[in-house]
Amino acid sequence: MQPIWYPSPNFGPRRGGLTPSLIVIHYTGMRGAPDALARLCDPAAEVSAHYVIGTDGQLWQLVAEEMRAWHAGAGAWCGMGDINSRSIGIELVNSGAQPFPEPQMQRLETLLRAVMARYAIPVSQVIGHSDMAPERKEDPGPRFDWQRLARQGLGLWPEGLADERPLAQSCAEIGFPQAAPDKLLQAFRFRFYATGQGPETVQDRRRAAAVAAGFRASQRR
């Protein structure tokens, strides 16, 4: 399915000759596609994304992939800043309080396969907005099914549990930036352990260590 071209004025050139090496998944935090598209194309808002996927699977393209969309804001991943210049941004129409419908997930998976193949992006570099900005962002949130993506080779997921070690150490190896312990724990759980509750546990630390091992293995492929 070809995307509907819905141009946003909110973009610029990628800086420093950078090309996409990351994909950042967001939710719009809005009730429907019309509101999301209006905001992402409003010059006063100064935000955009490369793609928007509706709840019915409709796909819009707002910014050409070779350009720098304004979707990520301040943050870092694997020690790298200026995520906008390094990434493709995908917005999923979702308020943040609802499941992601099957047509939307299927369209996302198709888009991910194409973008990952186009730029040789590894599974470890398909991330959520909260991964790169844990102090200020929560999307795509705990309802997003990262494990589903991993089963199809479109994302990273832990295989079992590993020996316990400090959560912050494992999260740094995975790529998370430094953050307050509670925000780092929340971001880790949103991504890899959505059922986790309360203070940090041994289970959190062992899962994080397993993810870090998987991240290292993905980098060697």
Beta bridge partners of residue 25, listed in sequence order: 90, 128
Is residue 59 a contact partner of residue 3, using CB atoms and an 8 Å limit?
yes
6 φψ region: left (φ > 0), alpha (ψ -120 to 50), beta (else): beta
What gap in Å lies between CA 147 and CA 62, rounded to an integer? 28
Cβ–Cβ contacts within 10 Å for residue 191, how many?
25
Two tokens, residue 89: 């941004």
What gap in Å lies between CA 32 and CA 52, rounded to an integer? 11
| Residues labelled catalytic | 91
Three-state secondary-structure class, residue 4: strand
Strand 22-27 with 126-128, pairing: parallel
Three-state secondary-structure class, residue 90: strand
What gap in Å lies between CA 124 and CA 31, rounded to an integer? 30
Is residue 22 a contact partner of residue 86, using CB atoms and an 8 Å limit?
yes
What gap in Å lies between CA 13 and CA 66, rounded to an integer? 8
Three-state secondary-structure class, residue 139: coil
